[in-house]
Amino acid sequence: MIYLRLLIPALILVVMVSSCEKDPELGTSTFTLAVHPVIGTEGLILNQEYIDQEGYRIKPVTLRFYIAHVMLTSATGEVEIKDLDLLDMENVAAGEPLTFTVEAPAGDYTGISFWVGLDSTQNASDPATFNNDHPLSLATGTFWTWNTGYRFVMFEGYFDTIQNTPGPVSSTRFFNYHTGTNPLYAKAELGNASTAFTIAEGADYTYNLDLDVNKMFYGPQNIARSQGAVTHTTSNYELADKFTQNFVRAFTLSAP
């Protein structure tokens, strides 16, 4: 009898506990976007010197950028998997990709799209309202305090202005591309039917992209070294605009 007295409450408890557990999300997978900074075929490591495709020495020291509204594209439309993240090479070990991981719906996809920067609402945020671990907080160092809004891309370092010069790169040749302002919120679109991929339910999937420094300078816009090494966007809007056009096209699917 005593067993029965114990058994009934135990059964009730089991039923209650099991009903409290959240059912696992059906039809989802763990999706990782991995961005590999490169310069040509070489992996990029901050504070190391490289020679770009045109023979200029370059030593990047900072590469940090926002991506917003990351979408998986399929034959039937798009699904947003991430509203905002800050990818910062200072936050990963040398040689490691810039990543974020989310739950994404399983399915067949043809590609991915995202915006480099922040949408106008995100860009109007007050950074003091966020905790330091938030991508929009003051701790990221991306907020422009003298002007409203955030720096969308911060690419800094040193480069030579004469091709094929012997190293090391001059420490006085500082370059500083800080892009921002709502008009320079730009979209990157990758993949097509020939690069379709499937995210299987319950499986981990990693989508690999390269981000090529060569393409930041030699893309649809050719950024000559003589055009200026510094832009805080409003200080040289033309240069910031060119850099933005190149930057969103500097992403490519990584070779399998």
Partner 1 sequence: MINGKLIIGLGLLLALSVSSCKPDEVDALDRPYRLSLPAGFPSMNIPADNELTEVRVELGKMLFFDKALSRDSTVSCGSCHFQLNAFSDVVAISTGIEGRKGLRNSPPLFNLGYHPYFFFDGGVPTLELQVLAPVQDVNEMDHEFPEAVARLAQNQVYQEMAQIAYGRSFDAFVLTRAISAFERTLVSGNSAYDKYNNGSSNALNESAKRGMALFNSERLSCNGCHSGFNFTDYSFKNNGLYVQYPDSGRMRVTALPQDRDKFKVPSLRNVALTAPYMHDGSFATLPDVIEHYNSGGAANPQKDERIQPLLLSNQEKSDLLEFLYSLTDNEFITNPNYAP
Binding site for partner 1 (CB under 8 A): 126-129, 132, 137-139, 141, 143, 145-148, 181, 233-235, 237
DSSP 152: E
The backbone region for 40, taken as left when phi is positive above 0, alpha when psi lies in -120 to 50, beta otherwise, is left
Nearer to partner 1, 27 or 141 (CB): 141
- Least distance (Å) between residue 27 CB and partner 1: 39
Nearer to partner 1, 205 or 237 (CB): 237
Position 118, amino acid: L
- Least distance (Å) between residue 68 CB and partner 1: 21
Candidates 161, 162, 160, 157; CA nearest to 176 is: 157
In the chain, what is the straight-line distance between the N-terminal and C-terminal CA atoms, in Å?
66
Nearer to partner 1, 96 or 119 (CB): 119
- Least distance (Å) between residue 238 CB and partner 1: 9
- How many CA atoms lie less than 13 Å away from 132 in the CB half-sphere? 1
- For the record, the structure tokens of 150 come out as 């955030």
- Least distance (Å) between residue 183 CB and partner 1: 9
Nearer to partner 1, 141 or 168 (CB): 141
How far apart are alpha carbons 245 and 183 in whole angstroms? 12
